[in-house]
């Protein structure tokens, strides 16, 4: 996993690459070059900053304005710590706050959760918080719309942008392919998105939405990368194929697909893990 914020700051200070979050949102890629025109259209609107991670206000294709809004981040970004392997959290009370960003990356509001609707680090690495406000209320008050989760499997070669609400920075690259299994320490994730090398995400970018540049929809949630070339250890995930062959890709980063999430939610943002087509792990 991308390290929690405090650990990330320490590592960045040691390497000399750590800077305070800029007052104005960066529009550069992770290599420091200007983002191409297609990436410029991807903004920070609807993303959020957490105390230790990034996230976004998300909706489903059939969500309505009066539905309670949801914030998506990683399971390993929970305020209660990492879920254990095999653990699934459902409908746990939470009053966590999130800094809502506008298109320029300026914090315009503080949103508050009423509960953790769903969270796990099994098969995927995701958390979904239900807010005390609706999508319509956020739009009316701040003129910011949620990001839409795509409900179809992402495609290799797609141009994507990882948008970090914490760092107010974007990372532009392509989907390189998919890892049948991605193993990191005691956790295993299925069908993970592998980025091309240009997306050099850092600690604090965990939970960032991975956006399809062409549609503006979310196709994954950023969560980890192989930092030191280690084999299947914490902060050094490895890929395991269908035959059990292990591949280590040092310096390569990954996200977890989100297309399967909409099938698990019904009216009023209500979670239903027994719904037809829902494949998320159950408690």
Contact of 2 with 206, CB cutoff 8 Å: yes
Q: What is the 3-state secondary structure of 94-136? A: CCCEEEEECCCCCEEEEEEEEEEEEEECCECCEEEEEEEEEHH
Lowest mean pLDDT among 8-17, 38-47, 50-59, 173-182: 8-17
The pLDDT tens digits for 259-277 are: 999 999 999 999 999 999 9
Output the pLDDT for position 2: 67
Question: Taking 90 as the threshold, does the pLDDT of residue 37 lie above it?
Answer: no
Rounded to whole angstroms, the maximal C-alpha distance in the chain is 52
Q: By percentage, how much of the chain surpasses pLDDT 70?
A: 86
Element (DSSP H or E) covering residue 10: helix 5-15
Query: Which pTM was predicted?
Result: 0.88
Return all residues near 42 (Cβ < 8 A) that are at least 6 apart.
161, 163, 170, 211, 213, 216
Residue 225 makes CB contacts below 8 A (sequence gap 6+) with 2, 201, 235, 237, 251, 252, 253, 254
pLDDT in tens, 165-223: 999 999 999 999 999 999 999 999 999 999 999 999 999 999 999 999 999 999 999 99
d(CA 77, CA 62): 27
CA distance 212 to 153: 12
pLDDT value, residue 41: 77
Query: Cα dist. 264→57, 76, 107, 121, 195 in Å?
Result: 17, 20, 30, 17, 26
pLDDT, position 9: 42
The values of phi and psi at residue 170, to 5°, are -115, 155
What average pLDDT does range 72-97 have in this prediction? 97
> Quick one: pLDDT at residue 155?
98
């Amino acid at each position: 996993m991308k390290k929690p914020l405090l650990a990330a700051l320490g590592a960045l200070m040691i390497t000399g690459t750590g800077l305070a979050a800029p007052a104005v949102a960066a529009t550069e890629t992770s290599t420091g070059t200007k983002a191409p025109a297609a990436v410029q259209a991807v903004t920070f609107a609807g993303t959020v900053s957490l105390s230790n991670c990034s996230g976004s206000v998300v909706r489903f294709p059939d969500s309505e304005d009066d539905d309670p809004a949801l914030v998506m981040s990683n399971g390993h970004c929970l305020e209660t710590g990492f879920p254990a392997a095999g653990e699934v959290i459902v409908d746990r009370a939470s009053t966590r706050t999130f800094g809502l960003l506008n298109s320029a990356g300026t914090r315009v509001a503080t949103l508050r959760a009423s509960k953790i609707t769903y969270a796990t680090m099994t098969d995927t690495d995701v958390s979904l918080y239900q807010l005390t406000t609706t999508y319509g209320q956020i739009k009316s008050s701040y003129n910011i719309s949620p990001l839409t989760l795509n409900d179809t499997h992402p495609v290799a070669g797609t141009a994507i942008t990882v948008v970090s609400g914490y760092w107010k920075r974007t990372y532009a690259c392509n989907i390189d392919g998919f890892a049948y299994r991605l193993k990191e320490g005691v956790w295993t994730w299925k069908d993970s998105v592998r980025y091309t090398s240009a997306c050099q995400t850092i600690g604090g970018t965990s939970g960032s939405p991975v956006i399809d540049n062409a549609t503006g929809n979310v196709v994954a949630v950023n969560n980890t990368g192989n930092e030191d070339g280690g084999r299947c250890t914490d902060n050094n995930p490895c890929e395991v194929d269908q035959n059990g062959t292990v591949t280590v890709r040092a310096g390569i980063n990954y996200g977890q697909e989100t297309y399967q999430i909409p099938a698990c939610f019904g009216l009023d943002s209500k979670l239903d893990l027994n719904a037809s087509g829902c494949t998320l792990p159950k408690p």
